[in-house]
Structure 1
């Protein structure tokens, strides 16, 4: 009756338990896949974003400095012209005389022609410069044009423009403006950049003239546009009076651009870039005041979606991979639950009719991958040998069976995880074109998972254990950059002897987490393996923070106990238990430490008879 009640209880809970195990298996599989995926993904995206930001700032600085170099040549021409007139008062007097004559004398004509030669070579050799004009206030509407080697009269409306420029208000000695109309009607109607420079009487602050340089706006626009890296990147030029000189734009309000330039000018020199939103779009604004004293400045707007295109693509890829991993985890949980509960149905059916169970179950074939077949066969054999014991044992077996199936629900398919990590490794390499820190970490993690998911009771050669330990330490060194160095000392005659798998990793992990990580200075982890007589000695030494004497005594006492209730240093307790169970009491862990100086752990195992 008792057995029948147990079976009825199992059947009642079957469906609810199936759903519960499916959800638990799904969560476990998802977390085991998503945690490393998310960590690697977030690190990759964060690093790519920082690199993109840094690279964009460098490129923006180069663009602005190259633009300033182009305009620097314009300023140089203007300054040279000013120095020419300032250092040659005779030239100024000759030109003033020619401007004031109603009809030019032969001497004035020759003087104008000689002065023109000084400017014509500059006009012919400079690709940007189209013409130069010199104006002194006169009653005959004249302006000096060196390219034609004469004084030319211009219409009244143009004279008004020149007079307005001559009387330009403010403290500016140099200013510029873009114009679609030529200064004289005899010139071609093409856009030009006009740079004005006031001329003064020698040794005084009284203005007596004006020199105007006309540069090709189309060539300047083409040259500046060639500096830009992205299609929607914008470059603006402001003068000392906070006016937008170039280019005129309908895409952004001029007041918004000038306010932005003023805001950028107030930032520290160490923060030349800032994120802004204009016309519902996000840009990175970079500002550069011209090194010249004329007060000109440059503003560069770079679309943020262009700067972070690689990071956005990387984020999209990781989202797709994450969704795919969740879908695969659902499939694994579904098929695993269905597969495991197929055997549970069979067990319930067999327990319901134990007398005929021998006809239902056959001895499993050698090499069968399912543990349920072996369990079921042995349970039925016990039922046949002893009826009473068989019934009681079946109750225990049912509980044990459920417990084992619960454990199996939490296992991860190592082949799937290994393949997934390899896929992520190649995707990471593909993004950067070569191996990087992210792909190295994935490669090491894949090797460690493949090594650790097999039976931990297996024996491996000491050299294999060391190779695995090196991969683990490479990951730790990537995580704790420049926090510690590692030194391996392996006697050549010890490398071929077998040792329990993963016997050293918990000790090294303990050295990192409880020693090196807690100390600000860079530390050292030394791993030494040597043979002395009939035993092999393993020593792990670290220069971490050390352990206080009272805590060290507590740990030593805890290693002597058969069980531990605390989670502190549980890796040491487990390793100590494995050593005692595998090699005897002579292989217990020994530990010594000095607070703030070092910690050393060592143990020894007997030399095996066969390698």
Structure 2
């Protein structure tokens, strides 16, 4: 497998795309075409066989409907009340006129009605009443010759059931007539020409569908294949096979076989068999033609898609070869410009980008010396800036040393002034020694303690303060000078203006993965209007005053550093208290979040 992939790597891109087309498009399309063609042909074959079977079933239903019509006529008149009354043996008809009237009555009831229903039917009534007039055509009195006929004997033995017979190209059905007490009065017989059945089957081409009617013994009395009429098919496979549907095999091919026995459908029907034989070749002729058309259409689609693919492939590889040639020229140091690509596709974008890169490389090559000179100038200026920064540190150290000298001289005469200078010196030294904008919470608290110590010397007992913070939170990193300015603001605007002074409370807790800082004083507070004004100025876009660092400065630096992850809020009640709440993400000096 590895050798196969290695062999693919040495192929050029045109061969790779061609192989990709064959594997991902040509081969799947061929397989799909074959599958769709097979499924379509199978579906068409199923439909064709279903239609053929439906046609056979329809022929059977047509014959069944014909037999039902004749059996209904026979049953209808064998139970006709007026016919039974007229044929009754109790009727004497001693008067010839009365006998003739009875004859006309039967004729009006029977013959005229039959002609209206089906003029092809030849109906006969055989009766026992000796007093009833007969015409020897349709109304015949039973004599010895009739009693000895097969028709008479079979009908009487059938005991009320319809008897079917086939004689001389004519089939007939007969049934006994009895009164309401079961006394035998006569026989009704219907004779029908075989042309009735032949008219139903002759409309089919025997080459497409053979319809065969046989009696129970296998004698063919009707078929659309005239060569089979009168033949004995009792030994044929389609006759001896079980009733149902199956495919028969012959020397000439396959045949769809359908058989039905009318007697099993209805006891009143004759024991005839209707056999349908259809060659599968003709049934599936349409599906074969369909398969050929599908294959031709798919082949044409493959040829067209292949032609389009090769045309596009040739254009793509030609442009790629042009790009490779340009790259070789640049690699050899030739930055000559060529005509840009006007196409906006991916290859065109690559070519145009490469051309712009060539121009840039050419410009960079000529600007290289000038850039080196500029870098030297920048290095010299950087050293000068470092020297200036070192010189700037002299002034804070001089200030610290001077304050220390003053403190030592005041220490003997004024201890409070000396302590104030000491705290101021610590405050300035700590502030100036802070590197960067981020310090630890402990450093910020030390600044606040130094500041409060200075303020205690000023306000004496009027200023009280309380700092409540857990030791494990002292390593959290915060922006510098965000608590001290707020403490200064609380003293200046809250405690200083209140008669008798007050207390400043600083509380730091950790809750919900956030650091909560609260600076609260019980000074003069603010009314609702003043509080809304301060909150509005806090979130406005105005700059901080140059006179000092205030609440606005703290809020802006927190928002710039943390964004929406931080929160600062002011709460106050007039003449009672003011509270400033800050919520920050807690992180250590190394920048990692601490829980």
Same fold (TM over 0.5): no
Q: TM-score range by the shorter chain?
A: 0.3 to 0.5
TM-score (norm. length: structure 1): 0.40
TM-score (norm. length: structure 2): 0.41
